[in-house]
Structure 1
Amino acid sequence: MSPLPVIACGGTNPQVFNAVKPLYLPEYEIIHNVISSISGAVEIPLLLQGLAPPVAEEPNRGTMDYSKPPVAVFVGALYSDEEFDEMYQACRGLSSVPWLKMDMTVPKPPLGPGYAEHVVQRIKTCMKKIEAEGKLEEDGVWLY
Protein backbone atom coordinates (compact mmCIF):
# COMPACT_ATOMS: atom_id res chain seq x y z
CA MET A 1 0.00 0.00 0.00
CA SER A 2 1.34 3.45 -0.86
CA PRO A 3 1.70 6.02 1.87
CA LEU A 4 -1.25 8.33 2.41
CA PRO A 5 -0.58 11.94 1.34
CA VAL A 6 -0.60 14.49 4.18
CA ILE A 7 0.23 18.13 4.86
CA ALA A 8 2.62 18.90 7.73
CA CYS A 9 2.68 22.30 9.37
CA GLY A 10 6.00 22.77 11.10
CA GLY A 11 8.88 25.14 11.39
CA THR A 12 11.30 26.60 8.90
CA ASN A 13 14.40 24.64 9.91
CA PRO A 14 15.28 22.36 6.95
CA GLN A 15 17.50 20.08 9.05
CA VAL A 16 14.67 19.35 11.48
CA PHE A 17 12.15 18.76 8.69
CA ASN A 18 14.51 16.49 6.76
CA ALA A 19 15.09 14.43 9.93
CA VAL A 20 11.35 14.15 10.68
CA LYS A 21 10.03 13.50 7.16
CA PRO A 22 11.20 9.86 6.86
CA LEU A 23 9.76 9.01 10.28
CA TYR A 24 6.23 9.22 8.82
CA LEU A 25 6.96 6.46 6.30
CA PRO A 26 5.71 3.95 5.34
CA GLU A 27 2.23 5.09 6.44
CA TYR A 28 2.28 8.75 5.43
CA GLU A 29 3.97 10.88 2.79
CA ILE A 30 4.36 14.59 3.51
CA ILE A 31 3.42 16.10 0.18
CA HIS A 32 3.59 19.69 1.45
CA ASN A 33 5.30 21.43 4.34
CA VAL A 34 3.63 24.59 5.65
CA ILE A 35 6.06 26.92 7.43
CA SER A 36 3.69 29.61 8.77
CA SER A 37 0.01 30.13 9.49
CA ILE A 38 -0.08 32.93 6.93
CA SER A 39 1.16 30.68 4.12
CA GLY A 40 -0.94 27.80 5.46
CA ALA A 41 -4.15 29.85 5.20
CA VAL A 42 -3.38 30.34 1.49
CA GLU A 43 -1.79 26.99 0.55
CA ILE A 44 -3.88 24.44 2.46
CA PRO A 45 -7.26 25.41 0.93
CA LEU A 46 -5.78 24.93 -2.54
CA LEU A 47 -4.20 21.59 -1.63
CA LEU A 48 -7.47 20.30 -0.15
CA GLN A 49 -9.18 21.11 -3.45
CA GLY A 50 -6.58 19.08 -5.36
CA LEU A 51 -4.75 22.14 -6.68
CA ALA A 52 -1.06 22.94 -6.47
CA PRO A 53 -0.17 25.88 -4.25
CA PRO A 54 1.50 29.01 -5.61
CA VAL A 55 5.28 28.92 -5.84
CA ALA A 56 6.69 30.25 -2.59
CA GLU A 57 9.90 32.15 -1.94
CA GLU A 58 11.17 29.27 0.22
CA PRO A 59 11.42 25.84 -1.43
CA ASN A 60 8.83 23.36 -0.22
CA ARG A 61 10.36 20.38 1.54
CA GLY A 62 7.44 18.04 0.96
CA THR A 63 7.46 15.61 -1.93
CA MET A 64 5.25 18.04 -3.90
CA ASP A 65 3.36 15.08 -5.38
CA TYR A 66 -0.01 16.77 -5.71
CA SER A 67 -1.51 14.00 -7.85
CA LYS A 68 -3.71 12.93 -4.89
CA PRO A 69 -5.29 15.31 -2.40
CA PRO A 70 -4.11 15.08 1.20
CA VAL A 71 -6.04 12.92 3.67
CA ALA A 72 -5.03 14.88 6.78
CA VAL A 73 -3.30 17.99 8.06
CA PHE A 74 -0.73 17.59 10.87
CA VAL A 75 -0.03 20.76 12.87
CA GLY A 76 2.97 20.94 15.17
CA ALA A 77 3.45 22.49 18.58
CA LEU A 78 4.98 25.68 17.15
CA TYR A 79 1.51 26.90 16.16
CA SER A 80 -0.61 28.79 18.68
CA ASP A 81 -4.34 28.17 18.97
CA GLU A 82 -4.93 31.40 17.02
CA GLU A 83 -2.57 30.34 14.21
CA PHE A 84 -4.17 26.90 14.05
CA ASP A 85 -7.63 28.50 13.86
CA GLU A 86 -6.48 30.88 11.11
CA MET A 87 -5.52 27.94 8.90
CA TYR A 88 -8.47 25.76 9.87
CA GLN A 89 -11.06 28.49 9.28
CA ALA A 90 -9.53 29.27 5.86
CA CYS A 91 -10.40 25.69 4.87
CA ARG A 92 -13.94 25.40 6.22
CA GLY A 93 -16.30 23.85 3.71
CA LEU A 94 -13.59 22.97 1.19
CA SER A 95 -12.81 19.39 2.12
CA SER A 96 -13.40 16.81 4.79
CA VAL A 97 -10.12 15.77 6.36
CA PRO A 98 -8.99 15.41 9.95
CA TRP A 99 -6.76 18.13 11.36
CA LEU A 100 -4.35 16.87 14.00
CA LYS A 101 -3.16 19.30 16.64
CA MET A 102 -0.71 18.59 19.46
CA ASP A 103 -2.34 18.15 22.86
CA MET A 104 -0.16 20.42 24.96
CA THR A 105 -1.42 18.83 28.20
CA VAL A 106 0.27 15.52 27.36
CA PRO A 107 3.91 15.38 28.50
CA LYS A 108 6.56 15.24 25.80
CA PRO A 109 10.34 15.06 25.87
CA PRO A 110 12.36 18.26 25.51
CA LEU A 111 13.55 19.27 22.06
CA GLY A 112 16.49 17.13 21.11
CA PRO A 113 17.11 13.40 20.65
CA GLY A 114 13.88 11.41 20.78
CA TYR A 115 11.53 14.38 20.43
CA ALA A 116 10.70 13.88 16.74
CA GLU A 117 10.16 10.14 17.18
CA HIS A 118 7.83 10.80 20.13
CA VAL A 119 5.73 13.34 18.23
CA VAL A 120 5.48 11.24 15.07
CA GLN A 121 4.43 8.21 17.12
CA ARG A 122 1.67 10.28 18.75
CA ILE A 123 0.47 11.40 15.31
CA LYS A 124 0.51 7.84 13.94
CA THR A 125 -1.43 6.57 16.97
CA CYS A 126 -4.03 9.32 16.51
CA MET A 127 -4.35 8.56 12.78
CA LYS A 128 -4.82 4.83 13.49
CA LYS A 129 -7.67 5.73 15.86
CA ILE A 130 -9.26 8.00 13.24
CA GLU A 131 -8.98 5.28 10.59
CA ALA A 132 -10.33 2.57 12.94
CA GLU A 133 -13.36 4.74 13.69
CA GLY A 134 -13.96 5.26 9.95
CA LYS A 135 -13.51 9.03 10.26
CA LEU A 136 -10.64 9.55 7.83
CA GLU A 137 -12.90 11.50 5.49
CA GLU A 138 -14.51 13.66 8.18
CA ASP A 139 -13.67 17.26 8.92
CA GLY A 140 -12.67 17.86 12.50
CA VAL A 141 -9.90 18.60 14.96
CA TRP A 142 -8.17 15.73 16.73
CA LEU A 143 -5.63 16.12 19.51
CA TYR A 144 -2.54 13.92 19.37
Structure 2
Amino acid sequence: MHDQTIERGTTWLADAGLRPTRQRVALAALLVGDGMDRHVTAEWLFEAATKAGAGVSLATVYNTLRAFSEAGLVREITVDGSRSYFDTNMTDHPHFYWENDGKLTDAPSEELRIEGLPKAPDGARISAVDVVIRLRRD
Protein backbone atom coordinates (compact mmCIF):
# COMPACT_ATOMS: atom_id res chain seq x y z
CA MET A 1 0.00 0.00 0.00
CA HIS A 2 1.13 3.54 -0.71
CA ASP A 3 1.94 6.05 2.02
CA GLN A 4 -0.89 8.33 0.88
CA THR A 5 -3.53 5.58 1.16
CA ILE A 6 -2.25 4.64 4.62
CA GLU A 7 -2.28 8.30 5.66
CA ARG A 8 -5.88 8.73 4.45
CA GLY A 9 -6.94 5.59 6.32
CA THR A 10 -5.19 6.72 9.50
CA THR A 11 -6.80 10.18 9.33
CA TRP A 12 -10.23 8.60 8.70
CA LEU A 13 -9.84 6.53 11.88
CA ALA A 14 -8.50 9.45 13.94
CA ASP A 15 -11.40 11.69 12.88
CA ALA A 16 -13.79 9.08 14.33
CA GLY A 17 -11.75 8.67 17.51
CA LEU A 18 -10.71 5.09 16.72
CA ARG A 19 -7.30 3.82 17.75
CA PRO A 20 -5.24 3.16 14.59
CA THR A 21 -4.19 -0.47 15.07
CA ARG A 22 -2.24 -2.14 12.26
CA GLN A 23 -5.31 -4.09 11.12
CA ARG A 24 -7.64 -1.08 11.25
CA VAL A 25 -5.21 1.08 9.28
CA ALA A 26 -4.77 -1.63 6.64
CA LEU A 27 -8.53 -2.08 6.23
CA ALA A 28 -9.22 1.67 6.34
CA ALA A 29 -6.61 2.24 3.63
CA LEU A 30 -8.39 -0.31 1.42
CA LEU A 31 -11.77 1.30 2.09
CA VAL A 32 -10.96 5.02 1.73
CA GLY A 33 -7.27 5.29 0.88
CA ASP A 34 -7.94 6.29 -2.72
CA GLY A 35 -10.53 8.89 -1.70
CA MET A 36 -13.38 7.02 -3.41
CA ASP A 37 -16.56 5.80 -1.74
CA ARG A 38 -17.35 2.13 -2.08
CA HIS A 39 -19.77 -0.63 -1.09
CA VAL A 40 -18.03 -3.74 0.18
CA THR A 41 -18.85 -7.03 1.78
CA ALA A 42 -16.68 -8.44 4.54
CA GLU A 43 -15.62 -11.19 2.15
CA TRP A 44 -14.53 -8.69 -0.50
CA LEU A 45 -12.54 -6.68 2.04
CA PHE A 46 -10.91 -9.85 3.39
CA GLU A 47 -9.88 -10.88 -0.12
CA ALA A 48 -8.50 -7.40 -0.87
CA ALA A 49 -6.61 -7.37 2.43
CA THR A 50 -5.16 -10.81 1.71
CA LYS A 51 -3.98 -9.69 -1.75
CA ALA A 52 -2.42 -6.59 -0.17
CA GLY A 53 -0.55 -8.75 2.36
CA ALA A 54 -2.37 -7.24 5.35
CA GLY A 55 -2.48 -10.54 7.25
CA VAL A 56 -5.94 -10.24 8.80
CA SER A 57 -8.48 -12.99 9.43
CA LEU A 58 -12.06 -12.91 8.19
CA ALA A 59 -13.21 -12.61 11.82
CA THR A 60 -11.00 -9.53 12.23
CA VAL A 61 -12.53 -8.01 9.09
CA TYR A 62 -16.06 -8.59 10.44
CA ASN A 63 -15.17 -7.17 13.86
CA THR A 64 -13.43 -4.17 12.32
CA LEU A 65 -16.36 -3.39 10.02
CA ARG A 66 -18.68 -3.53 13.05
CA ALA A 67 -16.38 -1.11 14.91
CA PHE A 68 -16.29 1.19 11.86
CA SER A 69 -20.10 1.05 11.69
CA GLU A 70 -20.51 1.85 15.39
CA ALA A 71 -18.08 4.78 15.01
CA GLY A 72 -20.15 6.19 12.13
CA LEU A 73 -17.53 5.55 9.44
CA VAL A 74 -19.57 3.10 7.36
CA ARG A 75 -23.24 2.30 7.04
CA GLU A 76 -24.35 -1.31 6.96
CA ILE A 77 -26.93 -2.12 4.30
CA THR A 78 -28.53 -5.55 4.49
CA VAL A 79 -29.89 -7.14 1.34
CA ASP A 80 -32.06 -10.27 1.42
CA GLY A 81 -31.90 -10.30 5.21
CA SER A 82 -28.54 -12.04 5.20
CA ARG A 83 -26.04 -10.30 2.91
CA SER A 84 -24.48 -7.14 4.35
CA TYR A 85 -22.72 -4.40 2.44
CA PHE A 86 -20.77 -1.61 4.09
CA ASP A 87 -20.99 1.82 2.47
CA THR A 88 -18.35 4.48 3.08
CA ASN A 89 -20.68 7.21 1.78
CA MET A 90 -22.48 8.31 4.94
CA THR A 91 -24.88 10.74 3.28
CA ASP A 92 -28.54 9.73 2.97
CA HIS A 93 -28.95 8.16 -0.45
CA PRO A 94 -30.72 5.23 -2.13
CA HIS A 95 -29.04 2.18 -3.63
CA PHE A 96 -29.39 -0.08 -6.63
CA TYR A 97 -28.90 -3.77 -5.90
CA TRP A 98 -27.92 -5.62 -9.06
CA GLU A 99 -29.38 -9.08 -8.52
CA ASN A 100 -27.50 -10.71 -11.42
CA ASP A 101 -24.05 -10.01 -10.01
CA GLY A 102 -24.72 -9.15 -6.35
CA LYS A 103 -23.40 -5.59 -6.57
CA LEU A 104 -24.64 -2.60 -4.61
CA THR A 105 -24.24 0.86 -6.16
CA ASP A 106 -25.48 4.36 -5.39
CA ALA A 107 -28.74 5.44 -7.01
CA PRO A 108 -29.38 9.08 -7.86
CA SER A 109 -30.91 10.59 -4.72
CA GLU A 110 -32.20 13.66 -6.55
CA GLU A 111 -34.67 11.41 -8.40
CA LEU A 112 -36.08 9.77 -5.26
CA ARG A 113 -39.28 11.16 -3.74
CA ILE A 114 -40.68 9.86 -0.47
CA GLU A 115 -43.98 11.55 0.13
CA GLY A 116 -44.51 10.33 3.66
CA LEU A 117 -43.72 7.70 6.23
CA PRO A 118 -45.94 5.90 8.69
CA LYS A 119 -45.98 7.35 12.19
CA ALA A 120 -43.56 5.59 14.51
CA PRO A 121 -45.18 3.68 17.39
CA ASP A 122 -45.29 5.37 20.79
CA GLY A 123 -41.90 5.34 22.45
CA ALA A 124 -40.03 4.94 19.15
CA ARG A 125 -38.58 7.22 16.51
CA ILE A 126 -37.51 6.61 12.94
CA SER A 127 -33.72 6.52 12.92
CA ALA A 128 -33.18 5.86 9.21
CA VAL A 129 -34.90 4.91 5.99
CA ASP A 130 -32.94 2.60 3.71
CA VAL A 131 -34.02 2.46 0.08
CA VAL A 132 -32.70 -0.44 -1.98
CA ILE A 133 -33.99 -0.69 -5.54
CA ARG A 134 -33.50 -4.17 -6.97
CA LEU A 135 -32.47 -4.46 -10.61
CA ARG A 136 -32.18 -7.48 -12.88
CA ARG A 137 -30.54 -7.47 -16.28
CA ASP A 138 -32.54 -9.28 -18.95
TM-score normalised over the length of structure 1: 0.29
- Between 1 and 2, higher relative CO (CA 8 Å, sep ≥ 6) is seen in 1
Larger of the two Rg values belongs to structure: 2
TM-score normalised over the length of structure 2: 0.30
